[in-house]
Structure 1
Amino acid sequence: MKLLILTQKVDKNDDVLGFFHSWIREFSTQCKNVSVICLERGEYDLPHNVEIFSLGKEENLTYNPAKSEARQRRLQPTRLVSRAERATYNLLRKITYIVRFIRYIVRNRNKYDTVFVHMNPEYVVLGGLLWRLWRKKIGLWYVHRQVNLKLRIAEKLAHIIFSTTKEAFRLKSKKIHFLGHGIDLARFTAFRLSIPDVESLGKFHNPIRILHIGRITPIKNLEILVDAVHILGHKWKKRVMVTCVGDPVNNTDEEYFKYLREHIAHHNLDESFSFVGSVPHHEIPRYYKEADVSVNLTPTGGMDKAVLESIASSTFALSANRAFENLFDRHARYLLYTERDSRDLAEKINALSEMNESKIVEMQKYLYERVSKDFKIENLITRIVSSMKDV
């Protein structure tokens, strides 16, 4: 198979999308050659049969409003960048991306026979008719609760669609294949002990170390964690230290972050929360290993790979997402809490912290074995490649 991949970003150090670097590497072991078109290109280290093409988000295209605004303030302190100028810049940037996208897929059309689009149905909308005309197989990976017009059009043009669970793909389609997630298990198991023992894995720290990894945005429901920490302190006198890895991305996120800090201050918990911002993807395993438990507070939807990464690191993962019920299996009553219920979350954390050490180790081993069996990146990519060959 000669594969063309479309994705948002290629950067092994990116805090959110760095994981996809491992996907590309695994695709390269199972395909003759791999071409990748990305919106933005950062640092990467990939085999010789992988070629990267960027649409140029990392460049300063045509007009940079931030630089222009600074210059204007020096020359004319009262004048700011207008909405019209920003709109013009954004339009020119998008046109540049589209032109480059069309040029890349046309110039390289003999280098690929199959297309795999990761999480961006707009690429299928833009290139789908040409790929169909050239008889290229089109596959789409999509894990999101949102169903919009772009997705509906992409569904018609794609030959096959992949997602993690039914909750993560809400559009009815006969083309959908639910494959679960895939993680780079070796990256996270490297931080585990080769022979887990009660002394290292069976005890919670004091204060309890709680970890949240992900963008700071309203759907993450971090205020529920704040309330749970407050309850843990008042009801059970538990000392807690929460580390949040991730940043707000847009204005809505920034407003939410401001509210979150005010909520933390209201409960006098400033010393219990540490916001470290974004960190390179390769540093994430260390945060899991140092935590007693990670929390995933988003509502039921697709499988959040953060839960799988946490388990691979032998760190308990608490979640409100019912998509993990089968994975947690007989331990679900300890690890699944009622969505947006801070009391239930606090009770689950307290129960884990007081659990018998041998029970903790037994649970960690059981969950790790399930993740290592069913969610290896090698197995996921094999299933994707095999399914696309059979289309």
Structure 2
Amino acid sequence: MKLVVVTQQVDPASPILGATVSKLRALAARVEELVVLADSAVDGALPPNCRVRLFRSRRRAGRGLRFEKALAAELARGRPAAVLAHMCPIYAVLAAPLARPLGIDVFLWFTHWRRSRLLASATRVSTKVLSVDARTFPLRTSKLVPIGHGIDVSELPCVERLPREPLTLLALGRTSPAKGLVTIIRAVEQVPDVRLLVHGPSLTDEERTHKMALERLVIDEGVLDRVDIRGPVPRHGVPGLYADVDALVNDMREGATDKVVYEAAASCLPVIASNPAFDTLLPDDLRFAHGDVEGLAGTIRRLGEIDRNAVGRRLRGRVLAEHSVDTWADRVVALAR
């Protein structure tokens, strides 16, 4: 089987897209040939049965034209079972007129709360839409197939955590208003014996502005000695970060399930999260309502009353069963056959 995957970047060190490489490697292990069309890629990141074609251009129109040319060349070279567009609806839209008339499936993998006309167009022209579950795709469609998140559990060892003080929480991800970091900081202010570590990039003007607002909030709430806001962590540093804290806390808005929640759970780290879509992963006593400062503070206090190592082991088992990268790749390949 030959499979074509379109993604933005192939770089295992990327703090944003590094996890994509594990998905590509898992797919490559299940097909004879994997062709990756990307805007950029580092050498040596993928196994020998992978070929990478770059379509980088300084202009958007040029990038689209180069992508279409690269895809057309691959379709002429040998018929793939499917073309999978990874998190970029535009590539499903551009691929469909080339692939669908030849009877080649076009899959869109998308897990985010933001809906758009472009996403609606990509949904219409795709054969299947793949997401974590029905609640992680913002449009209603009969084409949706839930396949889990695709976490590389091999990179995330299960860590046994010894009791320590103060209890240290981690919030990991971009400094976007959608991440609910204001709620998290205000909840930590209500629980005196807790420390919060915030790690993540600020890639847009909105995120940079919000980071400054968060730093101001830390001062205003009087928690400068307990809340530490830092920059991004390289992909290879994430497992060590999970190992050095007592729990992950996540208040991402409804509509997408944050990858870091599954990663932390895979490392046997207890997770507190608000998104209702985590109801199949997290027990009720580790969930709270989005934006609920008092509810989150109460959930944080309960962390001291539970066997955190036992909870972590159960969470890892659930990730292995439904959200591992092997399960994800098996489901993609089964759909392409």
1:159 Cα shift?
1.1
Q: Which residue does the alignment assign to 1:85?
A: none
| Matching of residues 90-169 of structure 1 within 5 Å | 93-109=59-75, 110-113=77-80, 114-169=82-137
Matched residues in 1 for 2:138 and 2:325: separation? Answer: 24
Matched residues in 2 for 1:16 and 1:95: separation? Answer: 24
1:265 Cα shift?
0.8
Letter in 2 for 1:348: T
**Pick aligned residue for 1:295 from 242, 245, 249:** 249
1:43 Cα shift?
5.5
1:99 Cα shift?
2.2
SS of equivalent residue, structure 1 residue 270: coil
CA contact (8 A) 2:14 2:234 kept: yes
Root-mean-square deviation (CA, aligned residues, Å) is: 1.6
Matched residues in 2 for 1:274 and 1:44: separation? Answer: 36
Letter in 2 for 1:364: G
SS of equivalent residue, structure 2 residue 225: helix
Gaps of 5+ in 2: none
TM-score, normalised on structure 2? 0.94
Letter in 1 for 2:254: T
For residues 238-268 of structure 1, the C-alpha deviation after alignment (integer angstroms, 9 at most, x for no partner) is: 1x32222211111111111111111111122
Computing the radius of gyration from Cα coordinates, the structure with the larger value is: 1
1:112 Cα shift?
4.3
Letter in 2 for 1:293: A
Greater share of residues in helix: 1
SS of equivalent residue, structure 1 residue 36: strand
Letter in 1 for 2:63: Y
Question: Would you say 1:209 and 2:168 are equivalent positions?
Answer: yes
Count of matched residue pairs: 335
Matched residues in 2 for 1:44 and 1:346: separation? Answer: 45
TM-score, normalised on structure 1? 0.82
CA contact (8 A) 2:269 2:309 kept: no
1:388 Cα shift?
1.9
| Comparing 165-174 and 23-32, the one that deviates more | 165-174
CA contact (8 A) 2:27 2:34 kept: yes
SS of equivalent residue, structure 1 residue 247: coil
| Matching of residues 1-391 of structure 1 within 5 Å | 1-42=1-42, 44-56=44-56, 61=58, 93-109=59-75, 110-113=77-80, 114-189=82-157, 192-193=158-159, 200-201=160-161, 203=163, 205-233=164-192, 238=193, 240-328=194-282, 331-332=283-284, 334-353=285-304, 355-356=305-306, 359-389=307-337
Matched residues in 1 for 2:308 and 2:272: separation? Answer: 14
SS of equivalent residue, structure 1 residue 186: helix
CA contact (8 A) 1:10 1:44 kept: no
Runs (4+) of structure 1 exceeding 6 A deviation are none
CA contact (8 A) 2:182 2:214 kept: yes
Identity of aligned residues (%): 25
Matched residues in 1 for 2:103 and 2:314: separation? Answer: 45
For residues 45-103 of structure 1, the C-alpha deviation after alignment (integer angstroms, 9 at most, x for no partner) is: 2111111122226xxx4xxxxxxxxxxxxxxxxxxxxxxxxxxxxxxx11221221122
Gaps of 5+ in 1: 62-92, 194-199
CA contact (8 A) 1:209 1:292 kept: yes
SS of equivalent residue, structure 1 residue 144: coil
CA contact (8 A) 1:319 1:337 kept: yes
SS of equivalent residue, structure 1 residue 269: coil
1:310 Cα shift?
0.7
Matched residues in 2 for 1:272 and 1:29: separation? Answer: 45
Letter in 2 for 1:17: L
Letter in 2 for 1:280: P
Letter in 2 for 1:343: E
Letter in 1 for 2:99: W
| Comparing 272-281 and 22-31, the one that deviates more | 272-281
